[in-house]
């Protein structure tokens, strides 16, 4: 199954906690604090893989997490860094932030992209020794890693894109000029996903051609299959518009030409401005009436300033001339387009918000905000750390808020799961 768009959740590793430890060695009294630092959390890294051609791997697995950093240890031993999570994606995948739609990276232009950075490891108690606090019994907790929701959007790396109504012969043309073997049948939407083929134009020249599933009127608004796959011609340097000149299905080729161009413009004005060649296909089936329609089409195309070719892909007529013209035109065009990142990392708040205070079944709950970080960094087995905890809550107004809400002497207060009896 061809999957070209997937939304996933990624989470980098949390940094390890710093250690509380003291140096103990024979004949060395009061060796002092020697707790090591925690290891940094692992990153989530995206790497392009030329052997992948679809995002099928992300259809069923949506959550990815890197390894957490290890905690520090005594003897100033730092914790091991968390293992990076490497996610392989097809070449040409565009990574977007799901919330804003901004481009974070184009995996056709970079070999390695850190999509989520791991949290820093916490400091061990060796960092907090001072002349007046020679035996600190606390350390810092590691920081959480980044969490994101991203969208992976595959945009094929093709020099040339074949566009046109269903059943006009795009797949047949691709099979004739390259070694690609797409499914070919005489009914609409035979092609259900884009096909790629390498076209050799002689003298060491070659280019990649993409057969885009049939576009119909209203494709830019989601009708048919065109809306799903128009993204695959975003990178194309040249568009070859294939039109059924025979009129076998009762359509006017000139009208078809205008409809497809209008759909391209509504989908993307930039795409509509790309250079275009027009190939009138099935010219071996022309009769008197259809020849008149072909002349109107040719006039319309030349008025638009585009090159016009009469071909029959099934009969191999005019395909070599078309291929040579495409190869020559590509020499005049810039390389395949890449998407410049425009994602701006939101600024971290200067200060975490105040905690929420709620009462339930006679217990006061203080949760969220800066108190979560406070609890992580307090050693409740140490008297000095407990006094620091109490002093911080008092200085930052938590006790004042509790009293304003009606807390009474002896009530139970739970701060992020740490319960104590309230005393003024």
- Give the model's pLDDT for residue 110: 86
pLDDT at position 147 over 90: yes
Per-residue burial over 238-271, b = 16 or more CB atoms within 10 Å of its CB, e = otherwise:
bbbbbbbbbbeeebebbebbebbbebbeebeeeb
Give the distance, in angstroms, between the CA of residue 60 and the centroid of all CA atoms in the same chain. 16
In a domain, 350, yes or no: no
Reported residue count of the chain is: 424
Min mean pLDDT across 51-55, 106-110, 266-270, 343-347 is at 266-270
Min mean pLDDT across 53-62, 106-115, 345-354 is at 345-354
Q: What CATH number did the domain enclosing 211 receive?
A: 3.40.50.300
- Give the model's pLDDT for residue 164: 86
Tell me if residue 314 falls in helix, strand or coil. coil
Could you give the CA distance from residue 171 to residue 219 in angstroms, rounded to a whole number? 19
The average pLDDT across 152-161 equals 90
> Are both 187 and 276 inside the same structural domain?
yes
In a domain, 349, yes or no: no
pLDDT at position 187 over 60: no
- Give the model's pLDDT for residue 191: 54
Q: What CATH number did the domain enclosing 137 receive?
A: 2.70.210.12
Task: Please say whether the beta carbons of 239 and 275 come within 8 A.
Answer: yes
Count structural domains, the chain.
3
| Final residue in a domain of this structure, among 106, 134, 153 | 153
Min mean pLDDT across 64-73, 79-88, 104-113, 186-195 is at 186-195
Encode pLDDT of 1-39 as tens digits.
Answer: 467 889 999 999 999 999 999 998 888 888 889 999 999
What is the domain extent for residue 324?
160-330
> Are both 310 and 364 inside the same structural domain?
no
- Give the model's pLDDT for residue 267: 80
- Does this model's pTM top 0.85? My answer is no
> Are both 394 and 264 inside the same structural domain?
no
Q: What are the CA-CA distances from residue 222 to residues 91, 179, 204, 400, 421 (Å)?
A: 26, 31, 40, 57, 61
The average pLDDT across 80-108 equals 95
- Give the model's pLDDT for residue 223: 52
Q: What are the CA-CA distances from residue 219 to residues 107, 214, 249, 273 (Å)?
A: 27, 9, 19, 18
Q: What CATH number did the domain enclosing 406 receive?
A: 3.30.300.350
Give the distance, in angstroms, between the CA of residue 264 and the centroid of all CA atoms in the same chain. 24
> Are both 304 and 365 inside the same structural domain?
no
Tell me if residue 303 falls in helix, strand or coil. helix
Contacting residues for 309 by C-beta, under 8 A, at least 6 apart:
277, 278, 279, 280, 318, 321, 322, 325
> Are both 303 and 370 inside the same structural domain?
no
Encode pLDDT of 401-413 as tens digits.
Answer: 999 999 988 899 9
Which neighbouring-strand residues pair with 105?
A: 95
- Report residue 289's pLDDT band, with 50, 70 and 90 as the boundaries: confident
Could you give the CA distance from residue 182 to residue 204 in angstroms, rounded to a whole number? 25
The most distant pair of C-alpha atoms in the chain lies apart, rounded to whole Å, by 110
In a domain, 341, yes or no: no
What's the mean pLDDT when you consider all of the chain? Answer: 87
In a domain, 344, yes or no: no
- Report residue 86's pLDDT band, with 50, 70 and 90 as the boundaries: very high
Task: Please say whether the beta carbons of 63 and 9 come within 8 A.
Answer: yes
pLDDT at position 280 over 80: yes
- Report residue 352's pLDDT band, with 50, 70 and 90 as the boundaries: confident
Which one, of 101, 69, 120, 146, lies nearest residue 348 by Cα? 146
- Give the model's pLDDT for residue 242: 94
> Are both 221 and 261 inside the same structural domain?
yes
Angle at 316 between CA 310 and CA 319, to 5 degrees: 50
Burial of 75 (0-12, 13-18, 19+ CB in 10 A): middle
Rg of the chain over CA atoms, in angstroms? Answer: 32
> Are both 4 and 146 inside the same structural domain?
yes
Per-residue burial over 186-202, b = 16 or more CB atoms within 10 Å of its CB, e = otherwise:
eeeebbebbbbbebebe
- Give the model's pLDDT for residue 250: 74
The average pLDDT across 202-218 equals 77
> Are both 370 and 410 inside the same structural domain?
yes
Encode pLDDT of 236-247 as tens digits.
Answer: 899 999 999 887
| Final residue in a domain of this structure, among 330, 348, 377 | 330
Which one, of 220, 216, 197, 217, lies nearest residue 207 by Cα? 197
- Report residue 133's pLDDT band, with 50, 70 and 90 as the boundaries: confident
Between residues 367 and 223, the one the model is more confident about: 367
> Are both 179 and 296 inside the same structural domain?
yes
- Give the model's pLDDT for residue 186: 58
> Are both 215 and 249 inside the same structural domain?
yes
Give all strands of the β-sheet with 195-200 in edge-to-edge order: 195-200, 206-211, 160-163, 238-244, 276-281, 307-310
- Give the model's pLDDT for residue 345: 87
- Report residue 78's pLDDT band, with 50, 70 and 90 as the boundaries: very high
Encode pLDDT of 100-123 as tens digits.
Answer: 999 999 999 888 999 999 999 999
Could you give the CA distance from residue 384 to residue 136 in angstroms, rounded to a whole number? 8
């Amino acid at each position: 199954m061809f999957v070209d768009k997937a939304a996933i959740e990624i989470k980098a590793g949390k940094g390890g906690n710093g250690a509380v430890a003291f140096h103990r060695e024979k004949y060395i009294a009061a060796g002092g604090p020697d707790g090591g630092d925690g290891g940094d959390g692992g990153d989530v890294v995206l790497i392009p893989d030329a052997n992948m051609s679809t995002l099928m791997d992300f259809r069923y697995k949506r959550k990815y997490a890197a390894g957490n950093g290890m905690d520090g240890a005594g003897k100033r031993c730092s914790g091991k860094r968390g293992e990076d999570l490497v996610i392989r994606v097809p070449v040409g995948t565009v990574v977007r932030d799901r919330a804003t739609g901004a481009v974070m990276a184009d995996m056709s232009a970079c070999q390695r992209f850190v999509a989520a950075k791991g949290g820093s490891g916490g400091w061990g108690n060796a960092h907090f020794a001072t002349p007046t606090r020679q035996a600190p019994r606390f350390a810092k907790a590691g920081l959480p890693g980044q969490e994101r929701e991203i969208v992976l959007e595959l945009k094929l790396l093709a020099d040339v894109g074949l566009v046109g109504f269903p059943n006009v012969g795009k797949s047949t043309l691709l099979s004739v000029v390259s070694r690609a073997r797409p499914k070919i049948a005489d009914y609409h939407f035979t092609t259900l996903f884009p096909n790629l083929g390498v076209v050799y134009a002689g003298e060491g020249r070659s280019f990649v051609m993409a057969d885009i599933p049939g576009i119909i009127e209203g494709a830019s608004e989601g009708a048919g299959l065109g809306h799903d796959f128009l993204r695959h011609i975003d990178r194309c340097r040249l568009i070859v518009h294939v039109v059924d000149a025979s009129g076998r299905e009762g359509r006017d080729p000139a009208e078809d030409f205008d409809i497809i161009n209008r759909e391209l413009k509504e989908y993307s004005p930039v795409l509509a401005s790309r250079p275009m060649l027009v190939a009138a296909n099935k010219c071996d089936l022309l009769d008197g009436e259809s020849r008149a329609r072909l002349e109107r089409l040719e006039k319309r195309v030349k008025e638009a300033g585009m090159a016009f070719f009469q071909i029959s892909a099934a009969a191999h007529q005019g395909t070599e001339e078309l291929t040579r013209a495409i190869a020559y035109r590509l020499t005049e065009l810039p390389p395949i387009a890449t998407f410049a990142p425009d994602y701006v990392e939101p600024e971290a708040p200067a200060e975490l918000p105040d905690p929420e205070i709620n009462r339930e079944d006679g217990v006061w709950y203080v949760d969220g905000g800066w108190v979560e970080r406070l609890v992580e960094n307090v050693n409740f087995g140490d008297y000095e750390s407990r006094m620091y905890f109490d002093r911080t809550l008092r200085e930052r107004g938590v006790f004042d808020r509790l009293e304003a809400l009606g807390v009474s002497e002896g009530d139970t207060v739970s701060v992020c799961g740490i319960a104590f009896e309230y005393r003024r």
